[in-house]
Structure 1
Amino acid sequence: MKKVFQPMMIGLGVTVALLASCSTKNSEPMESTKSTEKTAYFKSGYSDVNGLKMYYEIHGEGDPLVLIHGGGSTIQTTFGNIIPDLAKNHMLIAVELQAHGHTSDRDAPETFEQDADDVATLLQNLAIDKASFFGFSNGGNTTMQIGIRHPEMVNKLIIASAFFKRVGMFPGFFDGMEHASLDNMPADLKEAFWAINPDSTKLLAMFNHDKNRMLGFQDWDEALLQSIQAPSLIINGDQDVVQNSHAALMAALIPGARLMILPGNHGSYMGQVEGPYTEDNTTKLTLAVIEDFLTSK
C-alpha cells in the first residue's frame, strides 16, 4: 500500500545556499553558518511570498540551482543526502512549499501552478534573475510549470519522477489515493515534519492539500510541454510510480529534452529518504549526469 502514496508524500527536501551579496528584500533576517565539511556556505530564512512566509535555504556558491521537494516532504527528506555534492559547484536555493516543513499555509488549495509562481516570487525577492531548477516527484510537476509560466527565469530544468497525465502513473494509483489517510503517510516523512513543526493539525492540513491536489489533477495538454524551451533532463526509476513510457513521452514532447532511466524506485536513485541510500554507484551516476547536464553548453 505504501507505494501508492509515494509520489504525493515523498520528495520535499529543501536545503538552500546563498551568496553573501544576494539581496533578501521582503525577507526576515537569516541565520548564517559555515559548514565544516563539503558545503562551504549556508544561509536560511523566510520571505514574504504571495501570502506565505516561505522558508528557504542556500548552500554553496556558483551558478544558482533551485531544489524543489516532492509532496509531503521537506528539503532534507528529498535532497539531504545529495546537497553536499551538489553544493560543491552550485549555489543551491532549496525551498519548502505551501504548508510543508517550515513554510506557512494559506486559505487556498495547493496547485502546481501556484507553487511555480511562489518559487518565482521567492527568486525575485532574493534578486536572482535566472536559475536552473531540479524538482523531484510533485516538485518535478512544479518545475515543469516554472518552465511553462516563467521561461525568462530558467536556464535548465531537471524533472525527476514526475508526470503530466493521470495515465502516466502505475495502474491503480488514483484508485488507491481515494482511500489515503494520514496513517498511510511514511513514518520518516511524519517525523521530519514534526521535528520542524510538532502541530499535528498542520501535518494533517499538509496531507489534505497534497491528497486533494492529486485527486483533482486534470491532465495537462501536450502543447504545454511542447512550449518548454529550456534544456531539460527527465529522470525516472525503472521501478518508479511513474511509468517509464510516460517519462519517455515527456522527453519526446519537450524540445531537445534528454531522458535517463535508472535502476531504482521512487527517488532511490537520488538518495531521498524513502529509498535506500548507500552512496552506491547509481546515486553517483545520477549526480555525475546531472553535473554534466548543468555544465554543458
Structure 2
Amino acid sequence: MEQNDDKPLKAFSEVNGLKMYYEIHGKGKPLVLIHGGGSTIYTTFGRVIDELSVNHKVIAVELQAHGHTGDRGTPLSFEQDADDVAALLRNLNISKADIFGFSNGATTALQIAIRHPAVVDKVIAASAIFKLEGAPQMLWDYIRNGNLETMPPQLKEAFRAVNPDERALQTMFVRDQERMNTFKDIPDQTLASITAKN
C-alpha cells in the first residue's frame, strides 16, 4: 500500500495468526508507538503523534484485542505482543526502529528489546511495570476487582469509536484483566541483558 504524503497510511498486517492494525505517519527514522492497556493508538498518543511524525516515520500499532485489531482467542502476554510487533516490522521491511511504549505498551517495549534486540535501536519505556512491587497495591486491587462498568469511560468511548462491537470491548477488558492478574516480575538478569539504548 502506498502512503499519501498528507495522510497517514492505515492498514492491517497478518502477524502470527492475527490481523494487526497499524498506522504510518511521517517520514524519517522509524519510531514504533505502543499504546497502554485498554487503549487505542489515539487514547495514548493522540496529542503527540503529529509532533512525533515531523522527524520520524511513526508506526503506531493496536495490539491483540485492542481497537481495530482482532483477538486470536488466546490470553494476552507481553511476550506475544513483542513477537507480534517484531513480526509487523518484518512485514514492513523495517530492520531497526526506536520503540516507544506507554504503561502496558512500555512493558511490551521492554520485551521487544529482550526478545528481538536486533530490531531495537532505542527503547523508551514510559510508566513500565516490570515488578509487582513497582505499582501500588491499590492498582492491583482495582484490576482484580474491576469490571467493564468500572473501566474509565473515556477508554470505553475511544474503543467504541473505532470498534462498536460490545463483545470486542468485553474481550479486551477480560484479556487485559487476566494478563495483569497473572503478572510476573521480569527478572533483574533479564532486564540487565537489554542492549538497546535508552
TM-score grouping bracket, smaller chain normalisation: over 0.9
Structure 1 runs of 4+ off > 4 angstroms? none
Residue aligning to 1:206: 172
Root mean square deviation of aligned Cα: 1.1
**TM-score normalised by structure 2 residue count:** 0.97
2:131 pairs with 1:165: yes
CA shift digits 1:127-146 (9 cap, x unpaired): 00100000000000000000
CA 1:42 to 1:176, structure 2 compared with 1: closer, same or farther past 3 Å? Answer: closer
Q: Is the 8 Å Cα contact of residues 10 and 24 (structure 2) preserved in structure 1?
A: yes
CA shift digits 1:96-128 (9 cap, x unpaired): 000100001111100000000000000000000
Match of 1:58 among 9, 21, 24: 24
Give 1:184 shift. 1.0
Match of 1:86 among 52, 57, 75: 52
Q: How does 1:66-81 map to 2 (within 5 A)?
A: 66-81=32-47
Residue aligning to 1:230: 196
Q: How does 1:13-24 map to 2 (within 5 A)?
A: none
Unmatched segments (≥5 aa) in structure 2: none
Give 1:176 shift. 2.3
Could you tell me how far apart the structure 2 residues matched to 1:210 and 1:74 are? 13
State the SS of the aligned residue for 1:172: helix
Match of 2:147 among 181, 200, 203: 181
Could you tell me how far apart the structure 1 residues matched to 2:75 and 2:187 are? 21
CA shift digits 1:189-242 (9 cap, x unpaired): 11111111111011000000000000000111101110001111xxxxxxxxxx
Q: Is the 8 Å Cα contact of residues 35 and 44 (structure 2) preserved in structure 1?
A: yes
Residue aligning to 1:155: 121
Give 1:33 shift. 4.2
State the SS of the aligned residue for 2:33: strand
Structure 1 window deviating more from structure 2 (199-208 vs 169-178): it is 169-178
Name the larger-Rg structure.
Answer: 1
Residue aligning to 1:282: none
**Which amino acid is the alignment partner of residue 180 of structure 1?**
G
Match of 1:117 among 83, 86, 90: 83
Residue aligning to 1:96: 62
Give 1:34 shift. 4.3
Could you tell me how far apart the structure 2 residues matched to 1:33 and 1:204 are? 35
Could you tell me how far apart the structure 1 residues matched to 2:196 and 2:123 are? 7
Residue aligning to 1:107: 73
Could you tell me how far apart the structure 2 residues matched to 1:221 and 1:88 are? 37
Match of 2:103 among 125, 129, 137: 137
CA shift digits 1:11-49 (9 cap, x unpaired): xxxxxxxxxxxxxxxxxx57x4443xxxxx521100001
Give 1:174 shift. 1.4
Q: Is the 8 Å Cα contact of residues 102 and 128 (structure 2) preserved in structure 1?
A: yes
2:15 pairs with 1:49: yes
Could you tell me how far apart the structure 2 residues matched to 1:174 and 1:83 are? 30
Could you tell me how far apart the structure 1 residues matched to 2:146 and 2:190 are? 30
Could you tell me how far apart the structure 2 residues matched to 1:82 and 1:91 are? 14
Could you tell me how far apart the structure 1 residues matched to 2:106 and 2:122 are? 13
Could you tell me how far apart the structure 2 residues matched to 1:67 and 1:128 are? 14
How many residue pairs end up in the alignment? 198
Could you tell me how far apart the structure 2 residues matched to 1:220 and 1:65 are? 24
